[in-house]
Amino acid sequence: MRFPAKTASLAVASAFLVFGCGKESPQQQTAAPQAPTAPPPAMVVKIGSVAPLTGGIAHLGKDNENGALLAIGEANAAGISLGGRKVTFELVSEDDQADPKIGNTVAQKLVDAKVAGVVGHLNSGTTIPASSIYHQAGIPMISGSATNPALTEQGFKNVFRVVGRDDQQGPAVADYLVGQFKPKTAAVIDDATPYGEGLANEVEKKLKEAGVKVLPREKGTDKTFDWKAVLTKIKGKKPDVVFYGGMDATGGPLLKQARELKIAATFSFGDGGCTDKMAELAGTAAEGMICSQAGIPVQAAGKKFLDGYKAAFKIDPILYAPFTYDATHLLIAAMQKADSPDPAKYLPALAAISYDGASGNIQFDDKGDRKDAEMTIFTMKGGKIVPIAIIKGGRSMTLDEYASAGAAAQPALAQPVGTPAAQPAAVSGMGGMDGAPAEKK
């Protein structure tokens, strides 16, 4: 019987396949070893930091940056993973020079660099316009120092702050002035910035409510260093107290020139002028001045933070470093909660967070403001600002009373379950530096 050639070929091929499958060669009998699975590559997560790193208040800007940098170093030492991948956090630091235009430019620069979150800005005048850029990009931002209420009144769900507002700080310092000095007449001066003018407005409002006669408002700028014309004008009105809304760089010369003109009023300042630098700028004229901060004093911050800051930078923190430190850790803790650095995924965790930081427990209200924020009143004594009252929940406490209440307990860094607490680490992760080491509000 003859088969067509094609059919015969198929039969031969089938027979070969059956034979080949029926017996394995020695090489086939030994399975090839499996290559080990490579771990997923490490991930770099960038966090932006913005403050004035050059100019008259560079010292405050650098202090803010240092707080963020310390937190980045601690997070990297903790060996954090997100989504199953090890993470290296990198701080991308920018200098906005306390100028709103430059602030907007560097904000867009951070957006283009695809940062996962932003700590800053320092000044309200730069923070408010920059916040809309971060809002459009969907990037969470936390300011550790901008106090103008307008920041969180915009309705942006990505905007937060870890200090109090001027409509809390202004009444606190005004109440203290009224209670301690019982003024009949007051003068109010501001530097025409959103911070200085906004805070001065709140102080003036509260003084008037208390029955104090407030003289017509006097103004300078955030670059005014010769205040003699303004001071000469108010000298003849003999105010009992003078409040200045502005920074220490301009407040120091104001106070020094006031004493040179023999103005005997009690001078008071907001947080921008509540630094030891006032003694450097005003000399002995700064003794006895009164000032306020929209948060706890540095001395009341957690021991871990204070020790870590001194070890890393060989100096003590000045003003808002505990808050930028906490802001940075808050961003990272929210990423851990969501197991992702994607802003859209971790933003809900950030809004709902309860975090025990160097500045105490932090929770946010619906606007992004810190709930139950403390206020502190200081005086200048021996060239140093000294806290004399911490106000929380309507209660005024001394520093010792506040410390004994445990309000500033310092926890370990938030970590995955089962990981040992990280020890204070060498600072690392700095990137994108745009200026030399530090204006506010």
Give the tens place of pLDDT for each residue, 76-87: 999 999 999 999
- Average pLDDT estimate for 154-180: 95
Per CATH, domain 43-163+299-371+409-431 is 1.20.1730.10: no
Give the tens place of pLDDT for each residue, 275-331: 999 999 999 999 999 999 999 999 889 999 999 999 999 999 999 999 999 999 999
Q: Is 416 helix (H, G, I), strand (E, B) or coil?
A: coil
Mean pLDDT of the chain: 86
Give the tens place of pLDDT for each residue, 50-102: 999 999 899 999 999 999 999 999 999 999 999 999 999 999 999 999 999 99
Please check whether residue 159 is in contact with residue 215, taking contact to mean a CB–CB distance below 8 angstroms. no
Q: How far apart are CA 422 and CA 23, in angstroms?
A: 59
Q: Would you say residue 5 has pLDDT above 50?
A: no
Query: Which CATH architecture best describes the domain 167-293?
Result: 3-Layer(aba) Sandwich (3.40)
* Residue predicted with more confidence, 207 or 432: 207
Q: Which regions of the chain carry the CATH code 3.40.50.2300?
A: 43-163+299-371+409-431, 167-293
Q: Would you say residue 192 has pLDDT above 50?
A: yes
pLDDT number for residue 394 = 74
- Average pLDDT estimate for 23-37: 55
Taken in order 209, 210, 214, 220, the sign of the CA dihedral is negative
Work out the number of other CB atoms within 10 angstroms of the CB of residue 229.
10
Q: How far apart are CA 229 and CA 411, in angstroms?
A: 51
Give the tens place of pLDDT for each residue, 104-141: 999 999 999 999 999 999 999 999 999 999 999 999 99
Taken in order 353, 361, 103, 197, the sign of the CA dihedral is positive
Work out the number of other CB atoms within 10 angstroms of the CB of residue 57.
28
Pairing of strands 360-363, 354-357: antiparallel
Predicted TM-score (pTM) of this structure = 0.79
